[in-house]
Amino acid sequence: MALVLNILVASVASIQFYRAGHFSWKLFWPFAVTAVPMAFLGGRLSLPSQWLQTLLGLILASSALWFLRPTPDVEIAKTPSIGIALLVGAAIGLLAGLTGTGGGIYLTPVLLMMHWSKTKTASAVSAVFILLNSISGLAGLWSGGGGIPLDVWPLLISVFLGGSVGATLGSYRLPVRAVRFLLAVVLLVAATKLLFT
């Protein structure tokens, strides 16, 4: 269900951020080229989830606190080496497949904490990253005998509407500080879910 909803909302966000001129192919492709096959592999694997959820929850909570700190108004971005991006992409893709996510919730903090991207570029790159990894993870799930729950269909309209509003605000309207604050909130919600459910 999460992967199907990810595909829809990431499609909307990808189009909006691309139209707004925030997407960077140069930054995106090294992460994606290794992440997509690893997301497929992760979708096929079944690992003990408790330790993985706890680890990821702690990482996301730490990332959220990092985003809440005061930051300078001027953002600096330095492109990572291709080798590092390939390795990071593979790790994030595997996590995305294992956890049934698109991986953007891991990629965005990495891009910003390492100063590899400006905030709105990170959002744009992560949206396309989520789209491709969700498709790949869903394919891995299907190949392992999984299917789409029937109760996902009513949620599609809500996700489409919410995703459209959020992508428009994020790509055109909201200042960078607001985007970073909302990212921190999303990370805290995700961390809480992983740690306490």
Tell me the H-state helices in the chain. Answer: 2-19, 25-44, 49-67, 82-99, 104-113, 119-143, 153-168, 176-196
Average pLDDT score over residue span 7-19? 94
Average pLDDT score over residue span 13-22? 95
Q: Are 125 and 93 in contact (CB under 8 A)?
A: no
Kindly state the tokens that stand for 31.
């992460």
pLDDT at 97: 78
Average pLDDT of the chain? 87
61-75 tens-digit pLDDT: 998 998 888 877 678
Average pLDDT score over residue span 17-39? 94
pLDDT at 71: 75
Range 105-111 contact pairs with CB under 8 angstroms and sequence separation of 24 or more: 105/60, 105/186, 105/187, 105/190, 106/56, 106/59, 107/31, 108/183, 109/60, 109/63, 109/66, 109/67, 109/183, 109/187, 111/27
Residues 6+ apart with CB under 8 A from 155: 1, 5
